[in-house]
A and B are shown apart, each in its own frame.
Chain A
Amino acid sequence: MSRKIEGVKNVNENPCNMCMPMGGILALKGIEQTMVVLHGSQGCSTYMRRHISQHFNEPIDVGSSSLNEKGTIYGGEKNLKQAFNNILRVYHPQMIGVLTTCLAETIGEDVERIAAEYLRENKLNYPIVTAPTPGYGGSHAEGYFFTVRRIVEGLAKKAEKNYKINIFVSNISPADIREIKRILDLMQVRYTLCPDFSDTLDRPYVRPYTKIPEGGTKLADIAEMSGALATVQMGMTVDESISPGEYLREEFGVPLYTIPIPIGLENTDIFIKLLQELTGGVIPLSLQNERGRLVDAMIDSHKYNFEGRSAIFGEPELVYALAGACIENGIMPLVVATGSKNSTLCTLVQDLSAEKGLDFIPEIVTESDFKEIRGLSVAKGVNVAIGHSDGHYLEEQENIPLVRLGFPIHDRIGGQRILSVGYTGTAMFLDRVTNTLLAAKQKSYRQTMYNKFYRGKEKSEVAKYELLRV
C-alpha cells in the first residue's frame, strides 16, 4: 500500500514549495483595490514580486517595511507605519493587507496592534487586514488559505441572509477562476468568489495604466459572506485552523461544503451536483454537452493515456485534484508529492487509490523536495510529470516530459492562461497530457523499435533481393 516518508530532513535539495507570505500575497491580490505590505526586510517582497511577476506577466507591486538592523533590534513599528503612509500616498488603496515574514515574527512584532494604533493616530476608519505568515511557519499553500481566512475574519460582519453562495478557490489560474465563474453564471448561481484574481493578475491591456488593477472580490461582498446560504470551499486538504469556510461556519453558522478543485470528470461532477443541490436550479443543456464532450474525449484518448505513468507535484489541493483526474484516465500516478506538510493529502490519495482498486501503488510524499521527486520518478519509471516549472530538471536531466500546471511557471509564457477546471478545462488538461505522451512516443518509437528488434540484415539476403529486382 501507499507509504508516507517520515523523519527529519536536514537538507532540502531543490525546493518544491515556497514560503507562507508568498501565498498571502496571492490571496490579497484577489481582493478589490488592495495593496500588500510585507513586514520584514526588503528582499522578501522583491523576491516574491519577481516570482509572481514572472508567472503572471503582470506588474506586481508589494510594499515592504524595509526593516534594517535598527528596526530589527528596537522593533519595526516606525518602519511599518511609514510604509502605511507611503502606500496610501502613492496607491490610494481601499484596503491594506499586512503579511509578516520570518524576521518580523522572530523579533516578535505585533502587527495587529501596530495597525490599530496607526489607524487611531491618523483618525482613520480603514480596513487593514493582518496575517502572521513567518516563512518558517509553513508553505505558500498554507499562507494562501490562512490569509484568505484572515481577510474574511477582518471583513465579514453579521449580515442578513442573502442567499448567495460563498466560493473559496484554492490557488488556481486566473483562467480557471474565469471558468468557475462562467459555470456559476451558466447555472444562474448568485455567488461571492474569493479571492478573485482572475482580472487583477491577468489584466487586459487598457490605457491609461492604473497602479492597482481593476477587479478582485469586492470588500462589501466579503462583508456579507456571513449571510450566505452556504460556503463551497475547494479545500479537501485544508486544515480547519486555516480554513476560511470553517471560520464562517463557526462564527456565523454558514454551512460548509468542502470539495476538490473541479479538475477531472468526477471532481467536476461533485462541483456541479453540489451547485444544483444548493440552488435547486437546472443544469443547462450547454453544460450537459460540455460533459458529454469530455467523456467523448476521455474515450478517444484512453489507450494513449493508459500508457501514462505520472509524477504529480505541487500544492496539496491541486495535487489531490490532479491525482483524481489522472486515475480516472489511467494516467497512473506513481509519485504524488508536495513540499507542504499535509497528512490529509496522504490519507485522501490512499483512500482514492483503494477505492479505485489501482494496479499501481502511488508513492505519496509530503514535505518533499525535487531531489526526492526526481529520484522516485526515475526509480518508478515515470513517463510524464505534471506540475509547476520548478520540476524542469525532470525534463532537462531525466528526459521525463513536464506538463506545466500550477504555480510558478517560469520557463514558459502564459501561466495565467492555463485552463484545467470544469468539463471543458479538464478536456484541455487531458489533451495536454495525452499529447505530451504522444509526442514522446512519436519522437522515440522508430529508434526504440530499431534498438529493440533490429539485429542486422544478411548481406546475401539483400543481394538476392536486388538480383530478383533486376
Chain B
Amino acid sequence: MNAELSAIELSIKEREDFIATKGKQKKQLRCDAESIAGCVSQRACVFCGARVVLNPITDAIHLIHGPIGCASYTWDIRGSLSSGTELYRNSFSTDLKEQDVIFGGEKKLARAIDELVAAYHAKLIFVYSTCIVGVIGDDIEAVCRAAMVRHHIKVIPVQSSGFIGNKSAGYRAACDSLLSLIHTEKKISKKPKSVNYLGDFNLAGEAWIIRDYLARIGVTVSTVFTGDASYEELKTAPAASLNIIQCAGSMAYLAKQMEELYHIPYLRISFLGIEDTAVTLRNIAEYFEDPEMQQKVEILIEEESRKVTDELSFYRKKLEGKKAAVYVGGGFKAISLIKQFREIGMEVVMVGTQTGQPDDYDTINGLVTEGTVVLDDANPAELEKFMIEQGANLLVGGVKERPLAYKLGVAFVDHNHERKHPLSGFVGAVNFAREVYSTVCSPVWRSIQMKTPWGE
C-alpha cells in the first residue's frame, strides 16, 4: 500500500446502513437511495432500466438519441425472443457528435425518425433520451409529437437521461411510455377471463411457457408487458380483466396506474420455482372464482410436476446443504431465488439487490435464516468479503459478477437477461436446478484444489 494514503480513513462509513445481518440488527436496511460515488456500484442507469423494459417490444424501432456508446453497450445483449419480427434486435442511434452537442440534436433526431420510418415502415418508435440530451435541452417530446403528425404513427419519447435517478427511475420512465402507448379514450368492453402478464420479458421463451399454462386453464393472455409484445397487442391491454404482475420492481407502477385508469385489478405472482408456480396458478383460478378452472389447474400441476419430480430429486440429493449467495437486479428475483434454493435443499447465506424496495427487503428478511447477510446496492469488495465470510459455494448474479465468483473459486449461476434457457414454470425449475448442479458439482473445483507440481 502506498504510504501516502495513511491519511485517508480506510472504510466506507456511508455503506454501513445498506448492509445487515439477520438476527443482529434491529434497524431497517437502507435501500432505494442514490449510489455513493466511488463505491463501484453494480447498478446501471435510468436509460438502462427503460431499455430493459421496452426493448422486448418486437415491432418497434428503438432509437437512442445520444452519443454512440449508449446504443453500443445495449445492442442485442438480452435474450428476449420474438415470434414475429426481429426489428427490436437492432440498435438505432442518432450518434450525437460534438457539433450536435453544441448546436442541439433536435433536427438530427427528426431526420433520423424520417429515415427510419421510410426504411422500416414501423408503426411504433421509442425515442430514448440519454444524459447529454437532458443537459443540452433537446425537446424530444416536441420532436416526437411533430413526427407523429408527419407520419401518422406512434412516436413515443422515453425520458431516460442517465443522471436523473437510478435504474428504477428508468423502469418508471418506461412505464410512462407504455401508458401513453396504450392510452385510449374509447369505451372499453372487458374481455372475460383475460389477463395482461406484466414483468416477463420472454427470455428464452419464458412468456410462451406461461401463455401455454394459462391457455390450458382457460385464461387468455391479452398482452405480455413486454416479452414478445407487439404494438397491436399492447393496445388491447385496457380490455383485460386482470393484471398479473411478476417483476414488480419494474411493473408495479404500471399495474397501479392501470388499476386507476382502466379499473384492472392486479395480482402479484411468480412463476419461478415449482412452489410459486403452483401457488400462482391456484391464485388466478381463485380470483376468477371458477371451479372448472380450479380443476384444470390441479390437473396441470399434477401433470407438470410428475414430469420433473425425478430429475429434481436427483439434483436435490447432490446439492443438499450447499450454500448460495445471491446478488441480482430486483427484489422479486431475489425473493423467488431464496424459495427456489430451498426447493433444492440449499440455504441462502448472502442476498442483495441493486434496486430492491423496502417491502422487498421485509419479505427477504422474513424468508432467510439467522446469520444471512442482506445488502443493498453492493459492490465487488462487499460481494467478495461476504461470499468468503459466509462460505458460499455458489453466487447467482449477472455478467459483471461472474468473473469475481470464478476468481474466488465459487460456482456461478447466470440469472440475467442474457440467458438462453427459461427459468419459468415447471420446466424452468428443472433448468434452474440443472444449472446449479452443472456449476456446483463440476469436476473443475476438484482440479483447483490440487497441489501444484511445485508443491503449493
Contact = CB atoms under 8 A, between A and B. Distances in A.
Interface of A: 9-15, 17-19, 21-22, 37, 40-51, 53-54, 56-69, 71-72, 79-80, 82-94, 101-103, 106-107, 122-126, 134-137, 139, 203, 205, 207, 209, 211, 339, 390, 410
B359 interface: no
Most chain B beta-carbon contacts within 10 A, residue among A10, A49, A56: A10
A175 to B, nearest CB: 17
A17 B1 CA distance: 37
A63 B71 contact: no
A41 B2 contact: no
B367 interface: no
A46 B40 CA distance: 8
Contacts of B116: 11
A71 B37 CA distance: 11
Nearest to A95: B2
Contacts of B437: none
Interface in B108-130: 108, 111-112, 115-116, 130
Given A47-B73, A106-B135, A10 B108 contact: yes
A313 B95 CA distance: 19
A18 B72 CA distance: 6
Contacts of B72: 15, 17-19, 390
A211 B380 contact: yes
Contact of B448 (A79, A82, A101, A205): A205
Given A12-B92, A61-B380, A89-B12, A19 B163 contact: no
B132 A102 contact: yes
Q: Please indicate which of the listed interface residues A44, A68, A91, A135 has the most CB atoms of chain B within 10 Å of its own CB.
A: A135
A94 B2 contact: yes
Nearest to B160: A43
21 contacts: A10-B111, A15-B91, A15-B95, A19-B67, A41-B162, A41-B163, A43-B162, A47-B73, A53-B402, A64-B41, A65-B38, A72-B135, A80-B37, A86-B37, A86-B39, A88-B8, A90-B39, A90-B381, A134-B67, A137-B98, A410-B77
A42 B5 contact: no
B68 A139 contact: yes
Interface string B20-34: 000000000000001
Contacts of B441: none
A12 B400 contact: no
A42 B45 contact: yes
A60 B68 contact: no
A388 B62 CA distance: 23
A12 B71 contact: yes
Contacts of A62: 40
Given A11-B95, A41-B162, A47-B73, A86 B132 contact: no
Given A40-B163, A86-B12, A124-B4, 5 more contacts: A46-B45, A46-B400, A64-B40, A66-B34, A94-B2
Nearest to B69: A19
Nearest to B416: A50
B287 interface: no
Interface string B355-374: 00000000000000000000
B112 to A, nearest CB: 4
B170 to A, nearest CB: 9
Contacts of B46: 43
Interface in B378-416: 379-381, 384, 398-400, 402-404, 406-409
